[in-house]
Structure 1
Amino acid sequence: MNRLLEKDPAQDPARVGRGRLRALVARHPLVAFFVIALGASWAAWTPYVLSAHGLGVWDLRFPELLGTAQFSGVLPGALLGPLGAGFLVTALVDGRAGLRRWFGRLWRWRVPGRWYALALLGVPLLVLASGLPLSGGVVQAPAPLVLAALVPGLVVQVFTTGLAEEPGWRDFALPRLQERFGPTGAVAVLGPLWALWHLPLFLSDWGGYPGSPWTQVLWFTGFCVTFNVVVAWVFNRTGESLPVVTLLHVGVNNTVSTLWTEVYPAMSADRVVPGLFAVSAVAAAALLVATRGRLGYRPAPARTLR
């Protein structure tokens, strides 16, 4: 009689619900990742966007660190989004083996030095060159103190922007998208979604609100779509090295935040992204033509990513 009265674990509603959720995520891991990544970040960013740092609906100010409130107001949502979604969906779908692959790319730093040269020197030089046509001839050499700030700034960017985004966009999503849609299809999907993820931040000081023109969103979207092609090519050619891809990504951010106003003192902030878009668009088009759309991608037939 006691055995009959005992609750069957298989009929536990909570366990059944978790099983159904796991099965749903396993059937649609990419959809689950993007829903969680965007949803978690947007939900976490809502207070910041509504605060005095954005729309001003709430009389709320976030604490500042290193002269900006974005570390306390923006970074937590970024970490919850792509990074959190990549870890969660990988754990649910692929278990420990999948997590080992996911973490493994984060430590794949042994690649030829030319890729580090591209990320650490080539990208910053191209970023600065993108401003020359828009500078009006007002260009100056950066002060030694500014140059000295490049390395600390890069380290901060790696452990904030890089850690928050790349384990999700490139470590989780890109390999699965390439396996399903091929390299050109993958970048066509990932680029716009990468841009969309940033969208709420344009209603805060992160995006220059309220002084930034609405066209900045269009320029930024174009930059994300085209620069994403370059990042995918580097990811594939370096054997899926997250360290190099992260340095490539944050090299853009660090150069703009550290050097831009020093080199181009007369240029307004809303002219930065159009120049970046122009350079990345040329680079993306050249890579697509030169690789015939393959972007260095080599399918891995021995392993199937779900």
Structure 2
Amino acid sequence: MSTANAARQKSGIVLFLFVTFATAWASWGVAILLGGPAMSPPTVIPYLLGAFGPMFGAIVIRLRRAVRRQPAPAHSVRLPLIGLLWTPVLLAVAAATVVGGALIAQQLGGPPVSLNSALTLVQMSGGPLTFVAVMLVVGPLSEEFGWRGTLHPRLRGRMGRLLTGLLLGVIWSIWHLPLFFITGTVQNAFGMFTLSGLTYLLSVIPMALLAGYGYDRAGVLGAVAIHFGGNATMSLVGVTELLPQALIVGVQAVVALLLLAVHRERKEVTTPEPAHRHPVPA
């Protein structure tokens, strides 16, 4: 990477993070001051607005790139047709890591995995369509165009896939911190200064690795599938205790590392310069 490209990538990363954190944390700060439950008026407005922080960051970066007429980062993944085939597979993988961890916890004396609790949650959400719509918009769609579609390829221009996933996971985890202070959120229910709260913050890292793998396979759509599969299944399974929570983190970490280990790097195709048989006159 040339010095100019490296400087451009770095400035893009800094600008994206500034916009993402500023818009999300400012919105969630208002939600905290209002003090009501996350999904109740008027708190719901700044709460949901904050979830779109990464989307705002992505929009700013793309507008700047368009104005400057700059090319997309080298590691950007456009949606390939095969990505449409990968999407249900990635969705299933994410869901399986959650169910697998919860079932292992059940065998070790943890809470049982019940289909009845999942059906009750869907009914309380207003039905399957409403549940899917909410779980898809709040998180996967509001975040992935930013985290994976914008930040991921820029970090990949500076480091490998594993380090990119780990660093993005730490950043993503820190970004969630204000949610611990908003009543009615999963984070608030766990509590920041508890083992469950710490486990939640750690759980974001293997999810970042999985979502990064999904992005490499199927672009933003693949990352959305991973994010949605993980979040929706966690809600349906009703993970509230430390044992299943920790085991799900472990299963996701193992699966993510295995997938990254077997997934080959995409090779960029370059056109070699033609060799001249005779000297070209000046």
TM over 0.5: yes
Residue 277 of structure 1 deviates from its aligned partner by: 0.8
Distance of aligned partners of 1:36 and 1:299 in 2 relative to their CA distance in 1, 3 Å threshold? farther
Partner of 1:74: 47
- CA contact under 8 A between 1:44 and 1:77: conserved in structure 2? yes
1:190 paired to 2:168: yes
- Answer yes or no: is the 8 Å Cα contact 1:120–1:247 preserved in 2: yes
Q: Tell me which residue corresponds to 1:131.
A: 102
> Residue 8 of structure 1 aligns with which residue?
none
Q: 1:215 to 1:119 in 2, by over 3 A?
A: same
Residue 181 of structure 1 aligns to a residue whose secondary structure is: coil
In structure 2, give the amino acid aligned to 1:45.
Answer: W
1:83 aligns with 2:55: yes
2:137 and 2:11 map into 1 onto residues whose CA distance is 30
Which residue number corresponds to residue 118 of structure 1?
89
Aligned residue among 241, 247, 254 for 1:275: 247
Residue pair 2:98, 2:233 contacting (<8 A) in 1 also:
yes
Q: CA deviation at 1:219?
A: 1.4
Inter-partner Cα distance in structure 2 for 1:109 and 1:151: 27
Q: Which residue of 1 aligns with 2:114?
A: 140
- 1:188-215 deviation digits (Å, cap 9, x = unpaired): 3211001111011112231443663522
Q: State the shift of 1:166 in Å.
A: 0.5
The amino acid that maps onto 2:148 is R
Q: Which residue among 175, 188, 198 is the counterpart of 1:209?
A: 188
Alignment of 1:1-306 (within 5 A): 28-53=11-36, 64=40, 71-79=44-52, 81-95=53-67, 108=79, 110-111=81-82, 114-135=85-106, 136=109, 138-142=112-116, 149-205=127-183, 206-209=185-188, 212=191, 214-238=194-218, 241-257=219-235, 259-261=236-238, 268-291=240-263, 296-299=265-268
Compute the displacement of 1:171 (Å): 0.7
CA distance in 2, matches of 1:301, 1:222: 39
Unaligned runs of 5+ in 1: 1-23, 54-60, 262-266
The total of aligned residue pairs comes to 254
Q: Distance in 1 between matches of 2:209 and 2:156?
A: 12
C-alpha distance in 1 between matches for 2:9 and 2:244: 41
TM-score (norm 1): 0.69
**1-structure distance, mates of 2:177, 2:270:** 36
Distance 1:208 1:162, change over 3 A: closer
The residue identity in structure 2 corresponding to 1:141 is L
CA apart distance, 1:76: 0.5
**Amino acid of the residue matched to residue 181 of structure 2?**
L
- Per-residue displacement from partner, 1:37-57 (whole Å, max 9, x unpaired)? 11211111012223434xxxx
Shift of 1:63: 6.4
- Identity value in percent: 22
- Over aligned residue pairs, what C-alpha RMSD do you find? 3.4
Aligned mates of 2:55, 2:150 — CA distance in 1: 9
Equivalent position of 1:20 in the other structure: none
Alignment-derived partner of residue 21 in structure 1: none
Structure 2's unaligned 5+ residue stretches are 1-6, 272-282
Matched to 1:138, the amino acid is P
Provide the C-alpha distance between the structure 2 equivalents of 1:93 and 1:281, rounded to a whole number of angstroms.
Answer: 34
Q: String of CA shifts for 1:236-289, please: whole Å, max 9, x gaps.
A: 122xx22222122012111222x213xxxxx74445532321111111222343
- TM norm structure 2: 0.75
Is the 1:26–1:92 Cα contact (8 Å) retained in structure 2? no
Give the conservation status (yes or no) of the 8 Å contact 2:203–2:249.
yes
Give the aligned partner of residue 278 of structure 2. none
Structure 1 range deviating more: 165-174 or 196-205: 196-205
